[in-house]
Structure 1
Amino acid sequence: MKRESGLSFDPKKDEINGIPEEMEFLPASDQKKLEKRSPKETALLVGLILGAALLSLMIGLLVWHFHFRPDNTIKKMYNGYLTITNKQFTEDLEDFDSEAFKQLATTVEQTLLETYMGMDSVAPHYVRSTVTAFSEGSVIAYYWLECRVPPEGAAELDEAIRAVSPFSGKSRSGGTKSLRISDLVVDSADPRRVKPPKDHTCAFDLHAVGGEMNTFSSPGFPNEPYPANVWCQWVLRADPHHVIELNFVTFDLESVCHNDFVVVYDSLSPIEKREITQRCGLYPPTNAFKLMSSRNVMLVTLMTDDDENYPGFKAEFRQVPKQRQCSKILQGSGSFSSPYYPAYYPPRADCTWVLKVDPPNHIKVMFNVFLLQNPDENNVCKDYVEINNRRICGEQPPMVELSNGSEMTIKFRSDAAESCRGFSATFEPYDASKPCPEEFACRNGRCIALDLKCDAWNDCGDSSDEINCKCTSNQFRCGTGLCTSNQWLCDGVSDCGDKSDEANCECEAGEMRCANGKCIPEVQRCNLVNECGDNSDEEGCSNTDMTVPCSEHTYTCKDGTCIRKKNAMCDGTHQCPDGSDEHDCNCGIRPYKHSRIVGGMDAEVGEWPWQVSLHFQDKGSICGASVISTRWLVSAAHCFQDERTIRFSDHTTWTAYMGLHDQHKLDGAQKRRLKRIIRHENYNPQMFDNDIALLELDRPLSFTSVVQPICLPEAAHDFPIGKNTWITGWGMVHEDGGLATVLQKAEVRIIRRRNCNDLLSGTVTTRMLCAGYLSGGIDACQGDSGGPMSSVEENGKVFLAGIVSWGDGCARKNKPGVYTKVSKFREWIKGHTGL
């Protein structure tokens, strides 16, 4: 049987060249690929495949690293400036859109690029440099430097930027031009103060016009508050050889400088090393700060956060000729002061005065005002006056310096940063053998009346009038050898300076003795407040529960519970279980910030916003009062005591002025008539006991920056012996003198009632406070009656400690003033007013 297959072959078919004619071949292949591969070839093939895979993996990792992997570096911004010594400033360099600005900026940026990239410590982190402004001198270029650095390297980069000058006075090639660079100043920028260099929103370039006063203000002022989250800047320029005088005539920002603030720079770059001042809060117009630049440029910046926006500011500026020489030779007598006084002195001031008088006279220099920047944390003066080889800085009382001959050299230096009000001085010749004819010559050069020597009071200021004195029977000899009045013994204040007047003191009944000898009320022990000053009243206290049985010495909460802490009200700490000790605390606030003021005792506008001036008919201000709410005032009862022909008790004859500062400018105050007068029913006109009155206004007050209520103390509120308080008013400036026009202020010290009774014949009751200085010279006087005795607490709240009541004359020696003790009348006030 013949078997068939799928592939048949017929040997009878014709063959061509030995190959069957119908045989079909596939296309030819590479013969080497058809041969058997060697082991080396196989390994090579595998290697090629793995290499391609690794290459793909590396590419993927690189893509992930640069595009998807989180960046572990942080952006660091620096700002600064440099001087180009081989270029001259032209007016078109003020315009950042001009071709001249763009060309020079490009050249400077290229120079900065080449320089920083040539620094090993900076190059790995360098991103870019951006020029933002130019000014003259020859040309000063202001720029931002941006870097990116891992967080752990930020401090090292800061140090490298600050410590290394990349220019070293050499010429640098920048693009196609050569720049000669010097005076590099650069530092790390505060992140809050960084604005993108090319961002020109809310940016203004202003140039002073001749001698005119130019103005600018924050966005929206005065019609609406400044916007949230803004970074505004004002570039101020003056003509060559001039400087800028800047004065903030209105200034009202949020009181927390971390949130909203203005910074002024002696530069066009916001660099901390050239910061003149940083301000926030509210300043009165009488205390506006006037700032000076050292060159013809100044930068003002405003930064705000996202809430609590305020009215803002209005500023004036003008150009004034630059003082080319503040160093002088002065002959005979005269005066001198810090540059541009009373404006803030400019940064980088360098003055020398050589004072000369005819021999054999010596020179007496009297500094009437001295207000420089305080020394740093190492007690080194940054700004200072150098006199007699001694550097003096900070705030100093009026002082006298004497020369050792007929010539004297005085130097004044200020650094490149913050400035202050400066100083004013006079000088005159004096006979060294008779420095104070018919007066006592203090060692410090001051002259005082002869009867002030050995009066147990430091009238000279250096105690030289109290040295080698024989203490009287009414005086105590201190361990230092000085004498002090027996009235100051054991009052909690070290008048001797060595605490010897506070040693071995016997405390009165109900008091405890501190380890330092001070006596405090026993109820203040273990109340979590360091009344002793050495914490001995809080040592060994195991009971942390503040709740105690109620008494006249405890604070009563609204829920009826009582706590140990006597002065708990509005102290910023919740002590009551119901939190009532911190309720109704919108009082005792002074909205205005007050810079350091020297000279005289004029109060500033808004410094005592509860002060009231009471006018009777057409007689002007004859009494004072205090604002305690929108409708109520508190004053002294004796102000409303009728006389034979005058009815002071008639409420229709009185007008109250709130927010008043100057008696000649009544239009600036809130004016109200009285609805009724409530005198204390137990007022004793012979003893001035219970000398308190309430005044209801005919319509409510509006609380403003200059009208605010003072806090009323609770019955247990303690105003300790030795505490300094403030009295204010428009009364007589001295006994039998004229009335003050501008509100006056004086600081007085609370005196122990027992001691006060010894001085005032036993007429001081428990409802009175005694305060003043036994040396005299400081006191309330006629016309101040009814006004406040204000006590400033540690948290800044101000309480009405007393009401000006009576005294034996005004500012007499050993005759302190007497004040109604308001805490004794807290329930009486509440009963009539509901407050």
Structure 2
Amino acid sequence: MNVSLIFVVILLNVIKESVLVSIRNDKVLVNRPFNNRSSSPTNFEHFRRKRYLGLSKRFKINKRYQECVAPDDAKGHCKHLIFCPMHVLKNAKNVLDYLCVIERMHVGVCCPDDIALSGLAGSQIISDLPGGGDDYDEKDNTTGCGIPIEGNPGGKKSIGQQWPWIAALYRPKEMAQGLEQQFCGGSVITEYHILTAAHCTLGLTADEIRVRLGEYNFAQANESRSVDHIVESITDHEDFDKATYANDISIIKLRTATSFNSYIWPICLPPIDRDFVNEVAIVAGWGQVYYAGPVSEVLRHVEVPVWTLEKCANSFLQRITDSNLCAAGYDGGKDSCLGDSGGPLMFQLENGRWITIGIVSWGIGCGNKGSPGIYTKVSSYIPWIIKNTIAK
């Protein structure tokens, strides 16, 4: 190993440690799982089990910074060393020529924008995840998370491709016996990770569930290029409370990486300094079409305004916190419902990127006037998400 490469390895370890220390010093809540959870949704009738639903500058650990010229004269951007694979630099005569400075504070490396074009394994879309919706400008519409379907590679738009980041969680035994379709949903945030609600996964083991990506119509086989994934692990938030649904967030890790295409694509994480009050968001899933009604075989969505926290808190006896978002039609009728747990509350930023601002958590009834759906506020958990995805 030459001196230049040794220098880069040392810098890599130093930056990795500084990132982990930074994350450990952030406020992260701690898990008290409960046992003997019944798989029957009737035990949670008063809560709705909705389907499974950017990083601010402070948490933009994995992003592209200033433009630069990478090895082999490839177009690139300065990135933190730990997010540019070391073998990218293997053909560089002098590694030091490709070092750069990030925000006058950190040493980075000029990493090719399209690693795939460099003849290397993986691609830019994978190496930049999870990503923040505000990490991109309007002109950058071909790579990265949260790209509208018209920006995704391959094929013409179909209704089944409208929300390519939505995952369906199902239990193989129950599905095989015709007892249930999917029981919750989720959002693709990296090629390995699904963001979901803790009340969906708590008490379940990895081998008891599967994750289906790219699905649209459960009643029609082969109408989309859906893929079923085996689950490697489940990480529920350490402080999830079954009584209040506080910290209702979980991350599922897939055993094998998914491939991104026009049916499967990751969604972006939200900025932490925006509350989206009075904005119109979209919630989607396969849950009940109305309270106590049948579940939907096709993926459905509805537009819902985000309520003020004060208006929401006045609608419930249970405490609503700053880590919640509330959304539903003001006059009722527009809401998520039983079976939609864990699904995303989605919003499209001004730059065109879609972000998940909420995770479907709980509610009383479905679509009742004056009783909005309660969501886990994703921006409140950015450090926790980083800690349990790219920082591991």
**How many Å separate the matches in 2 of 1:573 and 1:741?**
35
1:622 to 178, 183, 199: 183
Check whether the contact 1:555–1:568 (CA below 8 A) recurs between aligned residues.
no
The residue aligned with 1:286 is none
- 1:720 Cα deviation (Å)? 2.3
Q: Tell me if structure 2 keeps the 8 A contact 1:590–1:606.
A: no
Q: Which position in structure 1 is the counterpart of 2:65? A: none
- Describe the SS at the equivalent of 1:834: coil
Question: Could you tell me how far 1:554 is from its partner in structure 2?
Answer: 6.6
Partner of 1:654: 209
- Whether contact under 8 Å (1:714, 1:823) holds in the other structure is yes
Deviation at 1:767, TM superposition (A): 0.8
Over residues 631-651 of structure 1, what are the superposed CA-to-partner deviations in whole Å (9 max), with x where a residue is unaligned? 110100000233xxxxxx111
Alignment correspondent of 1:809? 365
The equivalent position to 2:149 in structure 1, one of 582, 587, 591, is 591
1:710 Cα deviation (Å)?
Answer: 0.2
How has the CA–CA distance of structure 1 residues 584 and 680 changed in structure 2, closer, same or farther, with 3 Å as cutoff? Answer: farther
How far apart, CA to CA, are the structure 2 residues paired with 1:787 and 1:801?
11
In the alignment, the residues of structure 1 paired with residue 328 and residue 145 of structure 2 have an alpha-carbon distance, to the nearest angstrom, of 26
Counterpart-to-counterpart distance in 1, 2:333 and 2:292:
14
* Equivalent in 145, 157, 161 of residue 606 of structure 1: 161
Residues 559-591 of structure 1, C-alpha deviations (whole Å, 9 max, x = no match): 4689xxxx98234179xxxxxxx8996000133
* Structure 2 CA distance for aligned equivalents of residues 787 and 570 of structure 1: 23
Query: Which amino acid is the alignment partner of residue 588 of structure 1?
Result: G
Aligned-partner SS, 2:135 = coil
Alignment counterpart, residue 634 of structure 1, candidates 195, 206, 228: 195
Residue identity matched to 1:627: V
The question of 1:823 aligning with 2:388 is answered: no
Q: Do 2:138 and 2:352's aligned partners in 1 also have CA atoms closer than 8 Å? A: no
In the superposition, relative to structure 1, how do residues 773 and 650 fare at CA in structure 2: closer, same or farther (>3 Å)?
same
**Distance in 1 separating the partners of 2:187 and 2:351:** 21
- Compare relative contact order (CA 8 Å, sep 6+) and give the higher one, 1 or 2: 2
* CA shift digits 1:245-291 (9 cap, x unpaired): xxxxxxxxxxxxxxxxxxxxxxxxxxxxxxxxxxxxxxxxxxxxxxx
Equivalent position of 1:457 in the other structure: none
Give 1:692's aligned amino acid.
I
Alpha-carbon contact 1:570-1:583 (below 8 Å) kept: no
In structure 2, what residue type is equivalent to 1:675?
E
The Cα RMSD (Å) is: 2.7
**Correspondent of 1:698 among 240, 255, 258:** 255
* Conserved 8 A contact 2:281-2:304: yes
Whether the 8 Å contact between 2:134 and 2:351 is mirrored in structure 1 is no
- Return the index of the structure with the highest Cα Rg: 1
Q: Where does residue 43 of structure 2 map in the other structure?
A: none
Are 1:670 and 2:227 counterparts? yes
Q: Which residues of 2 match residues 41-52 of structure 1 at below 5 A?
A: none
Per the alignment, residue 758 of structure 1 pairs with 314
1:664 offset after TM fit, Å? 1.7
Deviation at 1:715, TM superposition (A): 3.0
Distance 1:804 1:591 in 2: 23
Q: Establish whether residue 782 from structure 1 lines up as the match of residue 338 from structure 2.
A: yes
Equivalences for residues 104-115 of structure 1 within 5 A: none
Deviation track 1:430-458 (CA, whole Å, cap 9, x = no partner) reads xxxxxxxxxxxxxxxxxxxxxxxxxxxxx
1:719 to partner: Cα distance: 3.5
Question: Once the 2 structures are TM-superposed, how far is the Cα of residue 608 of structure 1 from its aligned partner?
Answer: 0.4
Cα 1:784/1:795, change in 2 over 3 Å? same
- 1:308-351: per-residue Cα shift (whole Å, max 9, x none)? xxxxxxxxxxxxxxxxxxxxxxxxxxxxxxxxxxxxxxxxxxxx
- Cα 1:805–1:561 change in 2 (3 A) is farther
Measure, in 2, the Cα distance between the counterparts of 1:752 and 1:659. 33
- The structure where strand makes up a greater share of residues is 1
Residue type at the aligned position of 2:147: I
Amino acid at match of 1:756: C
Amino acid at match of 1:724: V
Structure-2 residue corresponding to 1:711:
268
When residues 557 and 637 of structure 1 are mapped into structure 2, their CA distance, relative to the original with a 3 A threshold, is closer
Q: CA deviation at 1:557?
A: 5.5
Q: 1:735 to 1:834 in 2, by over 3 A?
A: same
Aligned 1:373-388 pairs, distance under 5 A: none
Q: Does the 8 A contact of 1:570 with 1:585 survive in 2? A: no
CA displacement at 1:721 relative to structure 2: 1.1
Query: Retained in 1: the 8 A contact 2:133–2:146?
Result: no
Distance 1:740 1:557, change over 3 A: closer
For residue 762 of structure 1, report the CA deviation from its aligned partner. 4.6
Partners of 1:810 and 1:775 lie apart in 2 by 12
Q: 1:829 to 1:560 in 2, by over 3 A?
A: farther
- Between the aligned partners of 2:215 and 2:205, the Cα distance in structure 1 is 23
Query: Conserved in 1, the CA contact under 8 Å of 2:244 and 2:318?
Result: no
- Correspondence 1:228-239 to 2 at 5 A: none
What letter matches 2:209 in structure 1? W
One-letter amino acid matched to 2:159: E
How has the CA–CA distance of structure 1 residues 700 and 834 changed in structure 2, closer, same or farther, with 3 Å as cutoff? same
Aligned to 1:682: 239
2:137 aligned to which of 572, 593, 607: 572
- Which one has a larger percent helix, Structure 1 or Structure 2? 2
Compute the displacement of 1:555 (Å): 4.8
Structure 2 distance, partners of 1:634, 1:677, is 10
C-alpha distance in structure 2 between counterparts of 1:720 and 1:830, whole Å = 22
Q: Report the Cα offset of residue 796 of structure 1.
A: 1.3
Superposition TM-score, scaled by structure 1 size: 0.29
Tell me the distance in 2 between the aligned counterparts of 1:763 and 1:568. Answer: 30
| Contact map agreement 1:590 1:609 (CA 8 A) in 2 | no
Distance in structure 2 (CA, Å) of the matches to 1:671 and 1:623: 15
Moved more, 786-795 or 729-738: 786-795
Instruction: Give unmatched runs, 5+ long, in structure 1.
Output: 1-551, 575-581, 595-602, 643-648
Q: Tell me, yes or no, if the aligned pair for 1:725 and 1:790 is still in contact at 8 Å.
A: yes
- Paired residues, number: 258
User: 1:833 corresponds to which residue?
Assistant: 389
8 Å CA contact 1:592–1:607 kept in 2: the answer is: no
**3-state SS of the aligned residue for 2:210?**
strand
SS state of the match for residue 159, structure 2?
A: coil
CA change 1:561–1:810 in 2 (3 A) is farther
Asked if the contact 1:592/1:705 (under 8 Å) is kept, the reply is no
CA contact (8 A) 2:185 2:341 kept: yes
- Amino acid corresponding to residue 589 of structure 1 in structure 2: I
Q: Using the aligned pairs only, state the percent identity.
A: 30
TM-score scaled by length of structure 2: 0.61
Alignment check: 8 A CA contact 2:345 2:360 kept: yes
Paired residues of 2:213 and 2:226 also in contact (CA < 8 A) = yes
The answer on whether the counterparts of 1:656 and 1:672 sit within 8 Å (CA) in structure 2 is yes
For residues 716-795 of structure 1, the aligned pairs below 5 Å read 716=273, 718-795=274-351
Supply the AA of the counterpart residue of 2:245: F
